[in-house]
């Protein structure tokens, strides 16, 4: 089954150094209709400001895929 999520339905958030277009509930944004899609829990378009980094943090039982369109990104997991 195909479901369409128009761009206008996405939540836009600014976390200081990070701008995100959120497909699912995340951080302070919660919508009971958008907590996940099957096993997928998160699908964001993130724009990271230059020279900023994600702090080291843990992702339990999940894969993180980053597609960098411009610049460089380093993402480290906590052990």
Which residue shows structure tokens 């919660």? 30
Q: Exposed, middle or buried, 71 (CB in 10 Å: 0-12/13-18/19+)?
A: exposed
Residue 4 inside a domain? The answer is yes
Q: What is the pLDDT of residue 6?
A: 83
* pLDDT score recorded for residue 51: 65
- pLDDT < 50 stretches in the chain: none
For 17, phi and psi rounded to 5 degrees?
-85, -5
- Let me know: does 10 contact 33? Beta carbons within 8 Å: no
CATH number at 11 reads 2.60.120.10
CA distance 77 to 19: 21
Q: Is the pTM of this model over 0.85?
A: no
Residue 79 lies in a domain: no
Q: What domain range is 15 assigned to? A: 1-71
**What is the model's pLDDT at position 5?**
77
Please state, in angstroms and rounded to a whole number, the distance separating the CA atoms of residues 49 and 8: 23
């Amino acid at each position: 089954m195909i479901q369409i999520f128009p761009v206008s339905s996405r939540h836009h958030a600014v976390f200081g150094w990070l701008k995100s277009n959120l497909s699912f509930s995340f951080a302070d944004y919660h919508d009971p209709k958008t907590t996940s899609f099957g096993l997928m829990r998160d699908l964001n378009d993130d724009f990271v400001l230059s020279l900023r980094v994600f702090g080291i943090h843990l992702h339990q039982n999940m894969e993180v895929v980053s597609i960098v369109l411009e610049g460089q990104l380093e993402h480290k997991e906590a052990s």
